[in-house]
Amino acid sequence: MAVMTAVAFLVVLGYGFARTGLDGLSNPSQGAARERSVDGVVLAKDRVSEPQGSSSTRIEVRFTTDAGTSYRFWEAGDANIGDTIPVHYEPGRPETASTHSVTSNSIMFGILAVSGLALVLLMPLLVLRLGLESLRHVGQAIRKRSAVG
């Protein structure tokens, strides 16, 4: 029963991944048309410990919107303090700021969609395979008992 629960969870998770990825890919040109790009300045750089002993670098970036308001955000990156880098955001939503363009976001959405579809399609096939394998073992056990008796 625990196996079925885990498989069901992975299928639902896969559906969520696929849906999010496909929604993100639905109209990237529309996102690009809305996106604003401005120069940002790297204010700080930090190393973050990750699971299994690895680490990654993140940077703090400050940018000013077209309206003249200054914002800061942290994001994975490897630029040096003082570097000027492009920042992309949706007008009226500076919290969407990223150093990644719509194109790089589209690649990530594509990976997410493919991963989700793989989970949705492969998990039921795995259950089918396990079920058939179990039936084969049951059949072998019955034949052994019949041969002994």
Going by the DSSP 8-state scheme, the letter that residue 80 receives in this structure is P
pTM: 0.49
- pLDDT bin (cut points 50, 70, 90) of residue 34 is low
- Cite the DSSP H helix spans in 26-101: 28-34
Whether 45 and 57 have beta carbons less than 8 Å apart is answered as: yes
Cα–Cα dist 124/91, whole Å: 43
Phi, psi of 79 (to 5 degrees): -75, 160
- Check residues 50 and 84 and name the one with the higher pLDDT: 84
- Check residues 110 and 31 and name the one with the higher pLDDT: 110
The percent of residues above 70 in pLDDT, for the chain, comes to 87
pLDDT exceeds 90 at position 93: no
Q: Token pair of 75, please? A: 């994001």
